[in-house]
Chains A and B, each alone.
Chain A
C-alpha cells in the first residue's frame, strides 16, 4: 500500500509526518535540528530515502543536512556557497548599491533522475548546484550576473531565490523566481537566463510593467503540461501558457489576490490551489476565516474550501513554500501555517483536518508519495 511522508520545516526545527495511503492516522517525528530555522526539506524523486534539508540560524549561519534513510538519521554536508567571480551589487532598500552577500538557502530542488544532483536557491538571490550529494556547490552565475542584476531589490523578507522548477519535458529548461526581481528562465541548463515577466503589473514599482522588479511569491507547474505556469504574485494570481513568455491575470472571483503559496493538483493540470491573504500589510486570512481556494478551470473561477478549517478568529499566514500535493488518488493537499498547524486533505481539498497543531511557525511543507 502507498504511504505518504510530509516534510515540514519550521522556525525551530524539522518534523517528519507519515501515514499510510488512507492519510487518517499520522506519526509525527521531530524536532530534528531543534532550535534551528529549517527553511526547506525535500526528497529526491530518484531515491525517496535521500532527503536534503536547509538548516540555518542567525548565530551560526547555513548548514545543509542530508539523509539516506528517509529522515531517520542525518549528516551535515557542504555549506560553502561562494558566489562565482566578482559579486557586483544589487539595490538596497534605500536604492543604493549593495554587494551580494550570502545569507541562507531558501529552497532545495533535487534533480528528477540523480539523487546526488540538487539545486539550491539562496539569499542574496543566486542559484547553486551540487552534483556530489551536497558536498560541494557551484553557482550558476549567469543568473546573478544578468545585466538586470544591479536593478534587483530585496523584498521585506530578503532578496531570495525561492522557486526552482526543473522542466520535465524540455531538458535544460529551468524556471526560477526571485523576490523582488521576478521570474527568469534558462533553456541551457542554467548557463544563461532571461526575465519572463511580460504581462505582470506591479503598482509597487515605478514602472508597473518593468522587465524586472516584480515580487513573485511562488510559481507552480503540472508535470504533464510544463508550458503552463501558475503564479502567485505579491498581488495577482497569474497564468502563462507559453512557458512564461507572457502572463495573464486569473485572479477572477478571489476575495483577495494577495497570497504566498500556489500549487496544482497532481492529476488535474487545471485544478489550482491558493490561500488568499488579506493584504500586503495584513498577513492573515480575510475575515478571520482560513480558506483555501480551488479553481478547476485553470483560474478565474474559484471556490472556497472551508470544511475542517477554522472559520472564525483565525489570523495565521501560509508561507510560500508551505503547500504541497501528494500523488495519490484522490490527490492529497497539505499546507502549514505560521500558527504551527499542518492541515491535510485526502479529498483534493473538499475536507480538511489538522495532522498536527502546535508546531513552531511552519516555513515549508513538502510531500513524498511512497510505494
Chain B
C-alpha cells in the first residue's frame, strides 16, 4: 500500500480527506503510483501530469524521504520506505501566486 499526500486543491477535487492510499502491482515507480491514483480517482487525470505527454506539470514537485524526486525518470523505483508504506510520497504545489 503506497501512501500519497496530495495538495489541498487536488484533495478537494477528488473528495479526499488526508492521505490517499493506492495499490501498485509490480515495481513501485512514480509513473506506477500516478497511474494508480488516476485509475482510482479519474478526476485527477491531467492535474499531476499531462494526459498526452505524461510530463509532470511544471508547478508540481514529488518529494519523499526528504528528497526531491521530481527530476528523476518516472520509471525509477521509489525509495523502499515509500514502497513499504513507511513514508508517504508528497505531491507538492510550488510556492507561487496567490
* Interface residues, chain A, with chain B CB atoms under 8 Å away: 35-36, 57-63, 75-76, 79-80, 82
Q: Does B43 contact A60, Cβ atoms closer than 8 Å?
A: no
B52 x A61 contact (CB < 8 A): no
CA distance A261 to B43 in the complex (A): 33
* A interface, over-half SS: loop
B13 to chain A: which residues have CB within 8 Å?
Answer: 60, 63, 76
Q: How far is the CA of A325 from the CA of B52 in the complex (A)?
A: 38
Are A63 and B7 in contact (CB-based, < 8 A)? no
Complex formed: what's the CA distance from A35 to B10 in Å? Answer: 11
Q: Is the CB of B9 within 8 A of A36?
A: yes
Are B94 and A79 within 8 A (Cβ)?
A: no
Max chain B CB contacts within 10 Å: which of A57, A60, A63, A75? A60
- B73 on the A face (CB < 8 A): no
B57 within 8 A of A: yes
Q: Which residues of B contact A58 (CB under 8 A)?
A: 59, 96-97
- With A79-B51, A80-B52, A82-B52 in contact, is A57–B45 under 8 Å at CB? no
Whether the pair B51, A60 counts as a contact (CB closer than 8 A) is: no
Within the complex, the shortest CB–CB distance from B94 to chain A, in Å, comes to: 7
Across the two chains, which residue of chain B brings its CB closest to A77?
Answer: B43
CB-contact partner of B47 in A35, A61, A75, A82, under 8 A: A61
Bound Cα distance from A61 to B10, whole angstroms:
11
Chain B nearest CB from A309 CB (Å) reads 28
B93 within 8 A of A: yes
Q: Is the CB of B45 within 8 A of A59?
A: no
Contact in complex: A80, B43 (CB < 8 Å): no
Known: A59-B57, A59-B94, A61-B57. A80 touches B9 (CB 8 A): no
Residues of chain B lying within 8 A (CB to CB) of residue A63: 13, 43, 46-47
Q: Give which listed residue, B42, B46, B94, B96, contacts A61 with CB less than 8 A.
A: B46
Q: What 5 A-B pairs are tightest by C-beta distance, nearest first?
A: A76-B43, A60-B47, A59-B59, A80-B51, A59-B93
The proximity string for B residues 51-75 relative to A, scoring 1 for CB distances below 8 Å and 0 otherwise, is 1100001011000000000000000
CB distance from B13 to the nearest CB of A (A): 7
Given the contacts A35-B9, A60-B9, A80 and B57 also touching, CB distance less than 8 Å? no
The closest CB in chain A to the CB of B10 belongs to A60
| Chain B, range 2-25, C-beta contacts under 8 Å to A | 7, 9-10, 13
Q: Which of A35, A59, A62 interacts with B46 by CB under 8 Å?
A: A62
Additional 16 contacts, C-beta under 8 A, given A76-B43, A82-B51: A57-B9, A58-B96, A59-B9, A59-B93, A60-B9, A60-B47, A60-B48, A60-B57, A60-B60, A61-B46, A61-B50, A63-B13, A63-B46, A76-B13, A80-B51, A82-B52
Q: Are B46 and A79 in contact (CB under 8 A)?
A: yes
B69-98 CB contact bits vs A (8 Å, 1 = yes)?
Answer: 000000000000000000000000110110
Bound-state CA distance A204–B13 (Å) is 42
B46 & A80 in contact (Cβ 8 Å cutoff): yes
Instruction: Please indicate the chain A residues that have their CB under 8 angstroms from the CB of B59 in the complex.
Output: 58-59
Docked pose: A76 CA to B47 CA in angstroms = 12
Neighbour of B7 across the interface among A59, A75, A82, CB < 8 A: A59
- Cβ of A62: which chain B residues have Cβ within 8 Å of it? 46
CA distance A306 to B50 in the complex (A): 47
Q: How far apart sit A75 and B13, CA to CA, in the bound complex (Å)? A: 9
**What are 27 A-B contacts defined by CB distance under 8 Å?**
A35-B9, A57-B9, A58-B59, A58-B97, A59-B7, A59-B57, A59-B59, A59-B60, A59-B94, A60-B9, A60-B10, A60-B13, A60-B47, A60-B57, A60-B60, A61-B46, A61-B50, A61-B57, A62-B46, A63-B13, A63-B43, A63-B47, A76-B42, A79-B46, A79-B51, A80-B45, A82-B51
Question: In whole Å, how far is B4's beta carbon from the nearest beta carbon of chain A?
Answer: 15
